[in-house]
Structure 1
Amino acid sequence: MEQQALFTEIPITDVEGLRIGNAQDAEAKTGVTVLIFDEGAKVGIDVSGGGPAARETHLADPTTADSPANAIVLSGGSAFGLAAADGVMRYLEERGAGYDTGFARVPLVLGSCLYDLGVGRADVRPDAAMGYAACVDAEANEPISGDYGAGCGATVGKICGMGRSSNSGLGMFAAQVGELKVAAVVAVNALGDVRDPETGEVLAGLRGKGGAGFVDTRSVLYGIARRTDIFTGNTTIGAIVTNGDFSKAEMSKIASMARNAFARCINPVGTLADGDTIYAASTCKVAADVNVAGTLAADVMARAIVDAVRSAS
Structure 2
Amino acid sequence: MSIRPGPRNLITDVDGILVGNAEDDRVRTGVTVIYPEARCAAAADVRGGAPGTWNIQALDPTSLGNQVDAITLSGGSMYGLEAGCGVVAALGARGRGVVFGGAVVPVVPGAILFDLMNGGDKAWGEAPPYRALGRAALEAAGPDFALGNAGAGLGARANALKGGLGSASTVTADGVQVGAIVAVNSFGSAVMPGTDRFWAWPLEMEGEFGGLGPPPADWRGEPEMPLPPNYALNPMANTTIAVVACNVALSKGDLQRLAIMAQDGLARAIRPIHTPFDGDTVFAMATGKLALSNPAMLARLGHLAADTLARAVARGVYHAESLGDRPGWRAWRDAG
Normalised-by-shorter TM-score class: 0.7 to 0.9
- Greater share of strand: 1
Shift of 1:115: 0.3
Give every structure 1 segment of 4 or more consecutive aligned residues whose post-TM-superposition deviation is greater than 3 Å.
122-126
CA distance 1:59–1:252, change in 2 (3 Å): same
Q: Distance in 2 between matches of 1:272 and 1:312?
A: 25
Question: What is the one-letter code of the residue matched to 1:131?
Answer: G
Q: Distance in 1 between matches of 2:27 and 2:223?
A: 29
Shift of 1:230: 5.4
Question: What is the one-letter code of the residue matched to 1:312?
Answer: A
Q: For this pair of structures, how many residues does the alignment match?
A: 284
Q: Does 1:129 align with 2:137?
A: no
Equivalent position of 1:168 in the other structure:
163
Equivalent position of 2:290 in the other structure:
286
Q: Distance in 1 between matches of 2:226 and 2:131?
A: 41
Q: Distance in 1 between matches of 2:66 and 2:277?
A: 33
Shift of 1:199: 5.3
Task: Give the match's secondary structure for 2:299.
Answer: helix
Q: Deviations over 1:122-145 (max 9, x none)?
A: 33554211100001111x432111
Task: Give the match's secondary structure for 2:36.
Answer: strand
CA distance 1:259–1:6, change in 2 (3 Å): farther
Say which is worse superposed, 25-34 or 6-15, in terms of deviation.
Answer: 6-15
Task: Give the match's secondary structure for 1:36.
Answer: strand
Task: Give the match's secondary structure for 2:201.
Answer: coil
Q: Distance in 2 between matches of 1:173 and 1:155?
A: 19
Write out aligned runs for 1:209-288 (5 A).
Answer: 218-220=225-227, 231-288=235-292
Kept after mapping to 2: 8 A contact 1:175/1:181? yes
Equivalent position of 1:35 in the other structure:
34
Give the TM-score, by structure 1 length. Answer: 0.85
Shift of 1:14: 2.8
CA distance 1:37–1:219, change in 2 (3 Å): closer
RMSD over aligned CA atoms reads 2.3
Q: Distance in 1 between matches of 2:234 and 2:29?
A: 23
Kept after mapping to 1: 8 A contact 2:43/2:66? no
Q: Distance in 2 between matches of 1:89 and 1:265?
A: 33
Give the TM-score, by structure 2 length. Answer: 0.80
Q: Deviations over 1:241-296 (max 9, x none)?
A: 11111012111111111111111111111011000000000111101321111010
Gaps of 5+ in 1: 158-164, 204-214, 222-228
Kept after mapping to 1: 8 A contact 2:59/2:66? no
